[in-house]
Amino acid sequence: MGCRQWVSLTLVMILVASPVTGKGVLYPTDSESRTVYYLDGIWNFRPANESDPDVGHREGWYKQELRKTGPTIPMPVPASYNDITQDKAIRDHVGVVWYDRTFYVPQAWNSNVTRIWLRFGGVHYAAEVFVNGKLVTRHAGGHIPFLAEVTSFLKYGQKNLISVAVNNTLTDITVPQGSVGTIHTDSGPKIFQQYKFDFFNYAGIHRPVVLYTTPSVFVDDISVKTNIYDDTGVIEYSVSVEGGSANHTTVSVSLLDRDGNYVIRDVVGHQENLKVPQARLWWPYLMDPEPAYLYTLEVRTTTDSEVPEDVYRLPVGIRKVEWSNKTVKINGKQIYIRGFGRHEDSAIRGKGHDFPLIARDYNLIKWIGANAYRTSHYPYSEEIMDFADREGIMIIDECPAVDIGFGFKDDLLEAHRTALTSLHRRDKNRPSVIMWSVANEALTALPQAKAYFHAIANHMRILDSSRPITMAINAQHDTDFAGQFMDVISFNRYNAWYFNSGRTDTITQNVIQEAQNWHKKYNKPVLMTEYGADTIAGLHLSPEYIWSEEYQVNLLSKHFEAFDQLRNESFFIGEMIWNFADFNTAQTFIRVGGNKKGIFTRDRQPKSSAHLVRNRYWTIAAELDSATPPDNISVYVCESPVKYVKTEPGHTEDMSVISV
């Protein structure tokens, strides 16, 4: 079976069978009416042969335990499967792999007033799910949750089998795009995955798998929008209920403060406005002494039958985002973004969910004084986003449309719209999300990009008019066709790295000029979303030389000079380093063990530049937001430290570097 035939017969079938629905968008949490049972752990794993990807379907691997069909290996879930074994073929596998495990369901769950749901937080890229040999759902899109009701598929009080087929194939109509090629090897022709984006195409069951129960009439979705009028906060909510008619279902909503005290009680209605006097606002980290204040919206549904009450609790932050042709504001105060692009990436786990890593990352983000990051280049896990809500880190929420534009086809446009709809449906209620990013480094210099991104921008604004939209552009300002449809112009540029390599003396004026050109062309706020240099931790060269820690420090410092001049021009709203931490990529001679542009190593240890960035970010926080820097922001040098001074040409001026 040829590569194109496999893609057209199987992956496209999954794409067509993946509508966007409201069911399962609410994160599964325990309550008086709901029980959550995690299926994470060690599963059985078996790849299908790349030359016969349909073998598992044809032979019915899902109809029995996988170990009975042939050799399997133990595989952790959640995790990427690529780096778990010593097998190069598994690391680089293209096509279908199979997972399965058994589990028990209590007899008590077998009730005519209980429904049971199987939910996946994220599977990359496409998935088919079987329970006890029966297909229960298909899904495409590697970063968004999906679920199936499995009430009628389960054996209560007995052992059950769940089987999952995962396909990592990317095509010209998937988001992100890719293609499948054939290479002639010493052992014959083999297929391989090609893609333009600069991160490894990790695959597998990346996020938690849960069974959870609801009453037969239950809260299916909640939508929240907030506003501020003087010292009164307004929460506009809408509750969707499944399983019962509106005439026979009552929705009651209460609001609790951070300490669990009721602020508002028992407001009846599927859709109402809650007015909160002297509201505590959700502020970003370091913009307020008590940032990230969260209320709890408690939603209860009751019916006039014997169906038990359903209870769901949603964290809510009251805040307002506004923007103009020069600024973005939160709660009426202008923000200056200081942060990073990032990746969900770590050794062994790949893109797999990992709470210790999440906690470490947020500790480093706060340690360094950042207030924002972009979910480059796909939606991050719900658990990561929960941390952002709780810690006050602003998020530019990006859909997985990275490096797209190789044929702006109608099918690609539809898949892109679906990805945006899914992202919005999942993250619409998050106070941390202050901006939507609809793409990264798309081919916006092509004339076809104009109509394409006009349609994408219109779609996003229909979904949400309360947040600005942006996209990270790497075209030049005079060739770009897409920025006109954005609210904020975000640009990526690698001065003194991908061009003018080694010439840090070209950075400052180039950055200033380009930012000015973008604002002049589109009359919109401008944000630099990527800049940086690959750096091998521990490589020290003097004078500084590319790949050394000294070079990264100097390159960042030259950008800081540009940013400080741009901050005086009012339209420049922030700086985001590429990257927070080193990450894995496809094998290529320009990557030494992956992308090394992180200011932290892949195992989250600081390079020299991290201390420079920390000094700068905390200094800006003190200047703009009256934040108090930590005592250890710098180390003691002497009683009267030498000041940085500009000198005449030919004299030494590198006694220190510009941090602010």
- Taking CA atoms, 170 is separated from 124, 176, 341, in Å, by 10, 7, 23
Query: Distance (Å, rounded) from C-alpha 441 to C-alpha 365?
Result: 25
Strand 262-268 relative to strand 271-276, pairing: unpaired
Q: Which amino acid makes up residue 151?
A: T
Neighbouring-strand partners of residue 437? 398, 470
Q: Which pair of structure tokens corresponds to residue 261?
A: 């005290």
Contacts (Cβ under 8 Å, ≥6 apart) of 565 = 508, 512
Query: Distance (Å, rounded) from C-alpha 74 to C-alpha 85?
Result: 10
Q: Do 133 and 101 form a contact (C-beta atoms < 8 A)?
A: no
Q: Where does residue 637 rank: exposed (0-12), middle (13-18), buried (19+ CB within 10 A)?
A: exposed
Query: Distance (Å, rounded) from C-alpha 162 to C-alpha 103?
Result: 8
Q: Which of 313, 121, 146, 116 is nearest to 214 (CA)?
A: 116
- In eight-state DSSP terms, residue 500 is S
Q: Do 401 and 313 form a contact (C-beta atoms < 8 A)?
A: no
Phi-psi region of 244 (alpha: psi -120 to 50; beta: other; left: phi over 0): beta
Contacts (Cβ under 8 Å, ≥6 apart) of 651 = none
Q: Which pair of structure tokens corresponds to residue 606?
A: 């600081």
- Single out the catalytic residue among 298, 398, 441, 544: 441
Whether a cis peptide bond, with omega within 30° of 0, leads into 78 is: yes
What is the rounded (10 degree) CA torsion for 123, 175, 530, 83? 30
Query: Distance (Å, rounded) from C-alpha 286 to C-alpha 614?
Result: 14
Query: Distance (Å, rounded) from C-alpha 514 to C-alpha 529?
Result: 13
Query: Distance (Å, rounded) from C-alpha 229 to C-alpha 236?
Result: 13
Neighbouring-strand partners of residue 300? 252, 311
For the question of residue 514 being annotated catalytic, the response is no
Q: How many CB atoms lie within 10 A of CB 498?
A: 11
Q: Do 573 and 186 form a contact (C-beta atoms < 8 A)?
A: no
Query: Distance (Å, rounded) from C-alpha 423 to C-alpha 426?
Result: 5
Using DSSP's 3-state secondary structure scheme, residue 638 falls into coil
**Residues known to be catalytic:** 441
